[in-house]
Structure 1
Amino acid sequence: MKRPNIVLIMTDQHRFDALGCYGNSVIETPNLDSFAREGTVFTSAYSCTPSCVPARTSLISGMDPWHTGVLGTGKGQGKMGGNFKHTLPGELSNSGYYTLGIGKMNFSPQRSLNGFHHTSLDEMGRVESPDFVSDYAEWFERNKTGDYGSVDHGIDWNSWISRPFHAPEFLHPVNWTANETIRLLAKRDPTVPFFLKVSFTRPHSPYDPVPYYFDMYREKPLPKPLIGDWAGMHDQPDDAHSPNAWRGKRSDEEIRRARAGYYGLVSQIDQQIGRLFAYLRQIGAWENTVILFTSDHGDMLGDHNLWRKTYAYEGSAHIPFIVRLPKTMRHTYALPRFVDKPVCLQDVMPTLLEAAGISVPDTVDGKSVLPLLRGEDAGWREFVHGEHSWCYSEEQEMQFLTNGRWKYIWFPRLGTEQLFHLAADPGECRDLSADAAYVGQLAAWRERLVRVLEPRNCGFTEGGQLVCQAGKPPLVSPYYKLRTDSSDE
């Protein structure tokens, strides 16, 4: 059988519920919703380290954060690097695929290939060396129609501020990513199957859709932020004053405008993904292409008085994950419309390698989701474990477990816990950790986390109990040094 092409589409900071196929009746995402109807929507997909670099490190390597050595973007954490023994594009390249990465990669050095044959980069504002200029930035300067820059709208990369894009629509990074993908795909070697990683830099802030998509939501009723009975701890005016605030309540109008910009970006991305889908049909590749759509993490958008990412909460950690198999593979699959088993970004690499008929390296911690598409769920994981080092503040360092129905969170620097019954309270508005009726449930989840962390022997557990980390140095995985040292040999 002819090997399938593979397309991995990734958005940046895209929360799971900002898609029509995940139940959002306000947002307009017709192309992804139609795509989802041809595939399977995973309703309990999570980012195990919900910020850009660590999440993408797990995706490209198939490894848990502890084994990648990147536990967040905070204190003591390293970079992705280009020194993995096995990567998703590397295994596909070695097996005869032509591999292209377009958009945001987050590699270090930024021109590392990590197994790709070629990359064309939009790294947002990230510049790690004086001589680096991203392909998008270079193209923007060459094609702009006046004396302006790509961020002259004045919004920073982590801001809650929103406004329409200030330059002509064709210059927007979302449009560039789709155009660049189509341009490079047209130049591929047509005699071999291809792997595309198409990585949009939005809806990550700046919330700057082109005017058409900003106006689409400017006057539309939008979901209001969820505010839990515990969220007063993050209503901090001293933090909220910053244009790049990580927490604190802004005005209702500012929050609504942020959400309008965010939703506008999602709809703009959806329209450009539709162009890519049309091109795959045009070149006759649609019916022999595996497509997986996901994101690195979500965005709190003011939920619980929080902004951005790095949190265990649904807005930050719960991500879209949709798989569509080509016609050439569907006859052996049950192809359920929805799957509620817990999955994560580590599962992307083994899923796509299995779809290509390639052996999965023993360094991979994730699991292929293809058995779930065949209706085979025996032995699937009971829960996903996630974590993030402290980034904005010590108190937001966290560890979490979830199976999509319950979620347990432990804050190592505070020594406190939270428990949410997601099936009954999907917005995490009621913390059950102090409710006597749930003491058994709380203890069971705490014991599970102890079992996950004990083998690390990192000081987080002792005598079967979790140990508060207040005043202690940040947790650093020994695997990061092992990996980076081995690359120098």
Structure 2
Amino acid sequence: MADNVLWIVTDDQMRSTLRSMDRTWRRLVRKGVHFRRGYSAMPLCGPARASILTSRYPHNHGCATNMTHQPFVAQGHDRDTAATRMKDAGYDTGYFGKYMNGLAQDPSYVAPGWDRWVALLDGMIDDPRVNVDGTVRKVGSQREFDRFAGQRLRRFIRRRQDDGPWFAVYAPTAPHGPYTPSPEHSDDFDGVRWNPQALNEADMSDKPPWLRDLPPQDRRRMQQIYEGKLEELQDVDDQIGKVLDVLRSTGQLRRTWIFFVSDNGYLLGEHRLLSKSQPYEEAAGIPFAVRGPDVEPRTVDALVSQVDLMPTTLEIAGLDPDTGRELDGRSMLEPLRSGDWSSWRRRLIVENINLDWSLLREGSHAYVEHHDTGEWELYDLERDPHQLANLRDTDVTEWARKTGQFSEAQGLALRRLEQ
């Protein structure tokens, strides 16, 4: 029987928080490949999710703002996703969790390709509602929705233990604010320390002009948000543990690929910034791990992106990822199985087509180009992992040339630029 595939996509999770999820760390991350250099295609919820589902970078799917659902559908992107291709390949499919912002304006919508559809209608924080296969229902809170979606995912898995292969997504709302962990975990990280080196960076003179006069963030507030994220992640960890229990008890764990990512990271006062959308490691970087059949546990430094999930999943299903449309991402399947990443991409692009910047990662360096102002930043992350010292005296002509090429490329042409 063919292998199953499960994607777990958290919301606004920093790389540094992954270790706090004990079950996930022990039973998923340490049982598979942990990527220290995983990146969002665009560090903003909606555009990132559009990139995950289609393996298109934002400059190719054109969904620039967080209200992503309407432009995504209007351009027909929902008719060619990982779900539509996996369903056409004979897989049962199910989506359980947060989808894209804007779904509340189209409450009965069910995306093509999904046999089971349990999607939160955004914009209803005080009165959350969920679309279950086209029917709108109420749930008590966002956190209760995460449990509800987890229950429906587990039911989906149990019912298919003797049937053909399946592809599913579990996308909890956590650790996105407002921070309302369950009573079981509401005190787990009380008073946790939060003091990263880039917090309220003292010398901002080498940053772009708009950043230089930012006021410092309130340290206590940053600590409280960090505490809320860690505590909400314990609820996610509980749900993941239950999913792994069901996979094991039904005999499916050994033939299921599990991909763990977030839509984007999060800045908590680093460089005096709060939230996401910016080209710094805390926001652009994401937790990224893969567990699968015959995959030897290891930690690697290969540059990987959300756009790699779809082609890898399609190849697991025995499909050619580029049939019908060349994808921007590349399949990780062969190096995941062999452990040899020597032929993997050498450089990777991250972008924000709304704020008009591009980030090019290559080797130990991170080059940021702010297209609208002509400003640029270059950091050596090996010597300066907190991005405190912009290498202003460097000739960046070649960096700018490569970045410009990426910003216009797609499919195979884009992948050639990565080598």
TM-score by length of 1: 0.73
Indicate the residue corresponding to 1:382 in structure 2.
346
Report the CA distance shift for 1:336/1:287 in structure 2 as closer, same or farther (over 3 A).
closer
Answering whether residue 233 of structure 2 is matched by residue 256 of structure 1, we say no
Q: Which runs of 5+ in 2 are unaligned?
A: 411-419
Indicate the residue corresponding to 1:244 in structure 2.
none
Contact 2:175 2:229 in 1 (8 A): yes
CA apart distance, 1:410:
1.2
CA apart distance, 1:283:
1.3
Indicate the residue corresponding to 1:313 in structure 2.
280
CA RMSD of aligned residues (A): 2.9
Instruction: Please give the residue correspondences for 1:129-140 in structure 2 after superposition, counting only pairs within 5 Å.
Output: 133-135=129-131, 140=138
State the secondary structure of the residue aligned to 1:103.
strand
Contact 1:92 1:195 in 2 (8 A): yes
Contact 2:59 2:353 in 1 (8 A): no
Report the CA distance shift for 1:426/1:87 in structure 2 as closer, same or farther (over 3 A).
same
CA distance in 1, matches of 2:66, 2:119: 21
Residue in structure 2 matching 1:104, options 94, 98, 104 = 98
**Counterpart code for 2:144:** H
CA apart distance, 1:234:
4.1
CA distance in 2, matches of 1:78, 1:140: 23
Indicate the residue corresponding to 2:313 in structure 1.
352
CA distance in 2, matches of 1:126, 1:179: 21
What is the percent sequence identity of the aligned residues?
26
CA apart distance, 1:192:
1.3
CA apart distance, 1:276:
0.9
Answering whether residue 396 of structure 2 is matched by residue 446 of structure 1, we say no
CA distance in 2, matches of 1:403, 1:126: 41
C-alpha offsets along residues 351-408 of structure 1, whole Å, 9 cap, x if unaligned?
A: 1111121221333121001222223435432211121133xxxxx5311111362111
Answering whether residue 47 of structure 2 is matched by residue 54 of structure 1, we say yes
Contact 1:71 1:77 in 2 (8 A): no
Report the CA distance shift for 1:301/1:29 in structure 2 as closer, same or farther (over 3 A).
farther
CA distance in 2, matches of 1:206, 1:354: 38
Instruction: Please give the residue correspondences for 1:231-310 in structure 2 after superposition, counting only pairs within 5 Å.
Output: 234=211, 249-310=216-277
Contact 2:35 2:304 in 1 (8 A): yes
TM-score by length of 2: 0.85
Indicate the residue corresponding to 1:400 in structure 2.
359
CA distance in 2, matches of 1:205, 1:93: 33
State the secondary structure of the residue aligned to 1:419.
strand
CA apart distance, 1:72:
4.3
When Rg is computed on C-alpha atoms for both structures, the one with the higher figure is 1
CA distance in 2, matches of 1:453, 1:278: 43
Indicate the residue corresponding to 1:365 in structure 2.
328
Residue in structure 1 matching 2:80, options 86, 92, 101 = 86
Contact 1:312 1:400 in 2 (8 A): yes
CA apart distance, 1:96:
1.0
Report the CA distance shift for 1:289/1:28 in structure 2 as closer, same or farther (over 3 A).
closer
Please identify which structure carries the higher strand content: 2
Residue in structure 2 matching 1:117, options 97, 115, 118 = 115
CA distance in 2, matches of 1:194, 1:297: 26
Provide the aligned length of Structure 1 versus Structure 2: 392
Report the CA distance shift for 1:70/1:140 in structure 2 as closer, same or farther (over 3 A).
closer
CA distance in 2, matches of 1:371, 1:352: 12
Instruction: Please give the residue correspondences for 1:205-220 in structure 2 after superposition, counting only pairs within 5 Å.
Output: 205-220=177-192
